[in-house]
Amino acid sequence: MLMIFQNIYRRYARPICFGLVGLSGAVVNTGVLWGLVWGLGLPVLPASALATEAAILSNFLLNDRWPFRTAAHPGGLVQRLLRFNGVALGGMAITTAVLVALTALGHLPLLFANLLAVGAAMAWNYVVNSRWTWGQRTGDSAQPALSDDLSSVVGRQSLALSGVEGSVAEEVLI
């Protein structure tokens, strides 16, 4: 039974950590959104975009140093940041559209609608960032457990990367 839980943990450690980082991003997003709307009096739409960008930057730094610290890290830090931010633009569009729809059409409270909107973009962000920003398949058994040593991880990641073919769009469809 313990072995089953260990296998589940090894397979899902990275997505779980990514989700925890996402939760911290939701806190950043919510705090910045609240401060911009009620503190500075900005309209919801630009405040949402700015709050989302603050969360994107926070999430990138945390993801690069925690769940993806042992990933192959294609390109330099700036290249990964630009990729992450590019992927997050899709997530930001999802977040903003859902937020506006839930507040304007659904008449939900701002902060609750914001949490739902951020959640709607999380799956997109994980799949595309895992495959493009950090260059590995999300379901790959070569995903490291948090306790793996760096040398074995690098070797497995190199093997995993050698099997990645096609565009990001094709990878998402796999």
Instruction: Please count the structural domains in the chain.
Output: 1
Q: Which domain holds residue 115?
A: 2-173
Question: Does 85 score more than 80 pLDDT?
Answer: yes
Question: Does 161 score more than 70 pLDDT?
Answer: no
- Tell me if the pTM is above 0.75: no
Q: Give the pLDDT confidence of 4-53 residue by residue, as tens digits.
A: 888 887 888 888 999 999 889 989 999 999 999 999 999 999 999 899 88
Q: Give the pLDDT confidence of 130-156 residue by residue, as tens digits.
A: 888 988 654 443 444 433 333 333 333
- Tally of CB atoms within 10 A around 89: 12
Mean pLDDT confidence for 55-81: 88
Radius of gyration of the chain measured on its C-alpha atoms:
17
Rounded distance between C-alpha atoms, residue 103 and residue 108, angstroms: 5
169's CB contacts (< 8 A; 6+ apart) are none
Rounded distance between C-alpha atoms, residue 93 and residue 45, angstroms: 11
